[in-house]
Structure 1
Amino acid sequence: MAISLGQELVWFSDETSARLEDLQFVLGQGPGLSFQYETAVREVPDLGLLLDQQWPQYAAEAGKLGIAALFIWPVHIGAVQMGTMTGYRRTAGSLSSEQSAQGWLVADALAQHVLDHWPASTDDVDGPGRAGAVDLHRAEVHQATGILSVRLGVSLTEALDRLRAQTYACGGSLADTAHALIQRELPDDID
């Protein structure tokens, strides 16, 4: 499971969940990106059927991770949808009504968890994905975007696109690419 508020990943249960969310952000496609003001679970019961349809790159990359199905619940705080909770399965198929209902309970509980554990300062965090902590996993991505924008004299949008392209070309995570750029482990002229 992973919780994202807007485009910011704030909690994940395992590395696969984090990678799935990262792929959506890097590729700019996926079932959670256009999920706003929805009141039902979005089911993608067979990612293999999407290889030539809605999210071809995302479906292919998720398939490489062994993911066959995705399920996205809206995360509400009161009446306001704040983000999404994404779950995955390694076998194709829809959720049963009981599984869907349990997902709603988990989404509500995690929304409360996120609120209860939102860091008051950077000293209050336990690290990415750790229980009891809410981290802003893309803070370095935003910093790296700004650095790249200044270095190359391009807009923030173009800088982020170049950072995403570098990440995709290397097959790593966006956070790792951003960290490498900040630490000057990447060349200044990312294409």
Structure 2
Amino acid sequence: MFGDCLSRKVAMVAGGLTYFSKARKDKTQEELAAEAARMALYENDINLSKDDIDGTVVSYFSDHFENQLLFGSIIQDYLGFNPKPSVRIEGGGATGGLAFREAYAHVASGLLDTVMVIGFEKMSEVSTAKGNEFIALASDTDWDFPIGGFYSGYYALMARRHMEEFGTTEEQMALVA
């Protein structure tokens, strides 16, 4: 699809991962993103600085969890990367992978030299029922949502099909759940 326009070699040179759990009441999403960014920039042998970053790709599933539209722009500003270019990526369960794909395309094409991918999500600020509703909104709201169909149901159907077709047991599924 991209063909010859993505001819530069690309490498991921650093990363940062915050401690995560069911609920992180001790930090805001901005603080969690800053913690991971600091790890990626300074807690390695690469010796990057914010000035080395040409742009960012910000990825998270939904604006609903923080009740804030364009939250990626807020994270971008909080981390001190404005006015550098930034793009927000969201794609359901593929959001993280799509963010890396976008960063790859930016570097491979020569558009930018160094891109920071910032992924975050804090779903614990809402009730489980509300969180499930937000996730369900990623389904087709005209057809799937009214009858209760959303991702966990789809994944259950796929898992059941795999079990029937390949003889996979519930115990084996639990190992990768």
Q: Report the TM-score, using the length of structure 1 for normalisation.
A: 0.21
Q: Which has the higher contact order (CA 8 A, sep 6+)?
A: 2
Length-normalised TM-score, structure 2: 0.22
